[in-house]
Amino acid sequence: MDFDAFDKAGAPGNKLLTAMLAGGDDGAMAFWTAQPDKARKAKAACDPRRADYAVFDAVRVTRGGRTVLADLSLTLSERRVAVVGLNGSGKSSFARLLNGLLLPEAGSVRVFGAETRTVRETLPRHVGFVFQNPDHQAIFPTVEEEIAFGLTQLGRERKAARAEALAFLEAQGCAGLAQKPFLDLSEGQKQLICILAVVVMQPQLLVLDEPFSSLDGLSTRRLMARLEALPQKMVMISHDLRLVQAFDRVLWLEDGRLRMDGVPGEVLPAYLADIERRAALDDGAAA
């Protein structure tokens, strides 16, 4: 792929960035195309050394005219934070607030000390976002180009970026995938490459929206082990509660509100008990 095509007045990038700023799901890929020249010049106001990397203050988010997050106030400083909740409870919306893909309608979200609405262009350098669906994230034909693109966003020259991408893939044991078309990868390989494409940029915070949604149990365990070995702080949405048992903190969202917030040993059994209670009510209604 010709990287120039992406730099010419941000041709496809502008369209995607506009979609991202509109807050729609169509803007998912725009994370990767946030106008590199501008991003390089912009003065970053984030302080990635801050221990409290995210501060939500009375946040309300509206999507499609409906309030999907309400009265959310919390501070994140733990290395591994899990977000759980039923479908539609607001988990993805919460994750998107962390890298400025969504902005609150009321209240504020500060990430590494900066309000996200003021650092939207530079935030992706500090917050790597892995989408639930790899096809929403990857935009380049080959694996090597996908990895290299993130490095050009950090200011590397293209040739250097491609060489670095190859070396990185080799170090990750993925040299054999480098020249493969992204679309020819298995779902597990796609998920892995999407995670690596974010990790190569060395963001201080990784936000993962159900990164294992289409993986078998073994691939999930292997990818999780890779993630666990990373030094980055991590916020991960997961429906697989076994994966987050060893996390430092669990946020349980329900109908856009924080139902419970604590250590896995307290929150996960309560969440599971609630699921059982609801299922029993369903069974009772069906009988």
197 and 174 in contact (C-beta within 8 Å)?
A: no
CA distance 171 to 167: 6
Rounded to 5 degrees, φ, ψ at 270 are: -65, -40
Q: Please name the residue ranges forming H helices in the chain.
A: 4-7, 11-21, 36-41, 91-98, 123-126, 134-137, 143-153, 158-171, 187-199, 217-228, 264-286
Q: Judged by CB, which is closer to ligand ATP: 100, or 150?
A: 100
Nearest distance from C-beta of residue 252 to ligand ATP, angstroms: 11
Q: Judged by CB, which is closer to ligand ATP: 87, or 171?
A: 87
3-state secondary structure of 9: helix
Question: Within positions 37 to 66, which residues make up the interface with ligand ATP, using CB under 6 A?
Answer: 63-64
Nearest distance from C-beta of residue 215 to ligand ATP, angstroms: 16
CB atoms < 10 A from the CB of 192, how many?
23
Burial readout 253-264 (b: 16 or more C-beta within 10 A, e: otherwise): beebebbbeeeb
* Residues 154, 9, 31: CA angle, nearest 5 degrees: 45
Nearest distance from C-beta of residue 168 to ligand ATP, angstroms: 30
Q: Which of 59, 68, 114, 267 binds ligand ATP (CB under 6 A)?
A: 68
54 and 30 in contact (C-beta within 8 Å)?
A: no
Q: Judged by CB, which is closer to ligand ATP: 23, or 124?
A: 23
Q: Judged by CB, which is closer to ligand ATP: 148, or 243?
A: 243
Counting residues that bind ligand ATP (by CB under 6 A) gives: 13
Nearest distance from C-beta of residue 115 to ligand ATP, angstroms: 21
Nearest distance from C-beta of residue 213 to ligand ATP, angstroms: 9
Instruction: Report the residue closest to ligand ATP, judged by CB.
Output: 64
Binding flags for ligand ATP, 10-39, as an x/- string (CB under 6 A): --------------xx--------------
User: Which DSSP string corresponds to 155-206?
Assistant: T--HHHHHHHHHHHHHHTT-GGGTTSBGGGS-HHHHHHHHHHHHHTT--SEE
Q: Judged by CB, which is closer to ligand ATP: 65, or 265?
A: 65
Binding flags for ligand ATP, 75-114, as an x/- string (CB under 6 A): ----------x-xxxxxxx---------------------
Q: Determine if 233 is a binding residue for ligand ATP (CB under 6 A).
A: no
The token pair at 54 is: 């995210």
3-state secondary structure of 254: strand
Nearest distance from C-beta of residue 63 to ligand ATP, angstroms: 4
Q: Judged by CB, which is closer to ligand ATP: 78, or 254?
A: 254
Nearest distance from C-beta of residue 21 to ligand ATP, angstroms: 13
Q: Can you give the binding site for ligand ATP, defined by CB under 6 A? A: 24-25, 63-64, 68, 85, 87-93
